[in-house]
Amino acid sequence: MYFNDDDKRMAILGEAAVVLARRDKEISVESLLNQLQIMAEHGGNAERLAAIADTRNWLMKLRGISSRNRDEPAWFAENRGEGESIFLASTNRNDNIDDG
């Protein structure tokens, strides 16, 4: 089966994310970079190591995006009325969740 570079990158990234999630670790650009480094240190064939290196390089480009100032965007603040609340996700769910 043929995988293009994006497919390989996403598969490697997904593998790193699953490892972090199973260990109840935060999944962030930094934690993914660290996990990819660990994966590379554990070895593998040359193709796998190249795919991990490519994924790390791609992810490092995103490092700046995740650390940008997270202040409220101006367009968001301008469109909000005085005292008005804006919810990005619905909190009125009718799911039957068993808490016990």
Nearest CA to 72 out of 88, 61, 60 is that of: 88
Closest-CA residue to 31 (of 40, 20, 23):
20
Q: Which domains, and CATH codes, for the chain?
A: 5-66 (1.20.5)
Note the pTM of the prediction, 2 decimals. Answer: 0.61
Q: Which two tokens stand for residue 20?
A: 């972090």
pLDDT, residue 5, reads 79
Per-residue pLDDT of the chain (100 residues; tens, 9 = 90+): 556 878 889 999 999 999 999 999 999 999 999 999 999 999 889 999 999 999 999 999 877 665 555 555 555 555 555 554 444 443 344 444 444 4
For residues 91 and 6, what is the distance between their CA atoms, to the nearest angstrom? 35
Which pLDDT tens digit goes with each residue over 45-71?
Answer: 999 999 999 999 999 987 766 555 555
Give the max Cα distance, the chain. 59
Could you tell me the CA-to-CA distances from 12 to 3, 9, 18 in Å, in that order? 12, 5, 10
